[in-house]
Amino acid sequence: MKKALPVLVWGASGQAEVVTDILGQSDTYQIKAYVDDVNISGTPQTFNGIPVVHNDFDIRELQKSGLNLAIIAVGNITARVSISKRLLKLGFKFINAIDHTSIISKRAKIGINNVIKPGVIIDPMVEIGNHTYVGAGVTIAHHSQIGNFVNIAGGSNISGHVVIEDKVHIGTGTVIKDRVLIGKESIIGAGAVVVTNIPPQSVAIGVPAKPTGKKSANK
Ligand SMILES: CC(C)(COP(=O)(O)OP(=O)(O)OC[C@H]1O[C@@H](n2cnc3c(N)ncnc32)[C@H](O)[C@@H]1OP(=O)(O)O)[C@@H](O)C(=O)NCCC(=O)NCCS
């Protein structure tokens, strides 16, 4: 039997629970430690019975035992950007966490450090960058391009030939019409139906979705 590869999971809350479930579905990876550098005092020293570390010194100690793979389990896009830089600087390589109930075309391209939750359907010719979260039950139709550090919340339906640029947050249950482009760092409110292009850094809500005039903070 192949030995499970040790992995560091950055995060020790809700997203980390999801990633823990997904990685636990196979013998490929074994979680060696979680990182929580936010709730340092209140955090228990273990999460799901596995050690939680709080700083780069502790992480380097773990690296000495051969740990060099990581995945980020943090929903906030801005935090995910800075954590990814830290992990790369420390010399980590990223894995993906893809739930076994997802159906992903062999002709779709998926980068690294992505979390793909249960029941996702991804068509052929879809491209997903790196550090992107795809929520439960999301569908992404053929030829759509999803950028880096994107969140697509659960139950959203993305039609064909859609482009979602970097650091976009798509709210729960959003519907996106085919060939629409969503500009970088935008937020689409929960339940929106997007039928026209959305400019970068917009916050857009409603049916049909319209920018509110607010500037998004997804940097
Ligand atoms: C769109 C969004 C970013 C706006 O957040 P916000 O700026 O804090 O907005 P507020 O809650 O102050 O609401 C402002 C107004 O917009 C309305 N509104 C907020 N979200 C809305 C939405 N998704 N659709 C329609 N209207 C919405 C509010 O009812 C309120 O209306 P009012 O001024 O008439 O009272 C947020 O509501 C949202 O939908 N985020 C996505 C959440 C999500 O999908 N989370 C999944 C996590 S994985």
The side-by-side arrangement of strands in the sheet containing 169-170 is 97-98, 115-116, 133-134, 151-152, 169-170, 187-188, 202-205, 210-215
- Ligand 1 atom nearest to 214, measured from its CA: 7
Ligand 1 atom, smallest distance to 212 CA = 16
Q: What are 166-208's pLDDT values in tens digits?
A: 999 999 999 999 999 999 999 999 999 999 999 999 999 999 9
Where does the pLDDT of residue 45 fall: very low under 50, low under 70, confident under 90, or very high at 90 and above?
confident
Q: Distance from the CA of 36 to the center of ligand 1, in angstroms?
A: 28
pTM over 0.85, yes/no: yes
**For ligand 1, atom 9: residue with the closest CA:** 189
Look over the chain and give the mean of its residue pLDDT values, rounded to a whole number: 96
Which CATH number is associated with domain 98-209?
2.160.10.10
Q: Where are the domains of the chain?
A: 5-95, 98-209
pLDDT at 38: 84
Only one residue has tokens 């139906």, namely 193
**Confidence grade of residue 1 (pLDDT, cut at 50, 70, 90):** low
**Residues 136-173 as b or e (16 or more Cβ within 10 Å = b):** bbbbbbbbbbbbbbbbbbbbbbbbebbbbbbbbbbbbb
CATH number of 5-95: 3.40.50.20
- Tens digit of pLDDT for each residue in 112-145? 999 999 999 999 999 999 999 999 999 999 999 9
Residues in contact with ligand 1 (CB, 6 Å cut-off): 153, 171-172, 187, 189-191, 203, 205-206
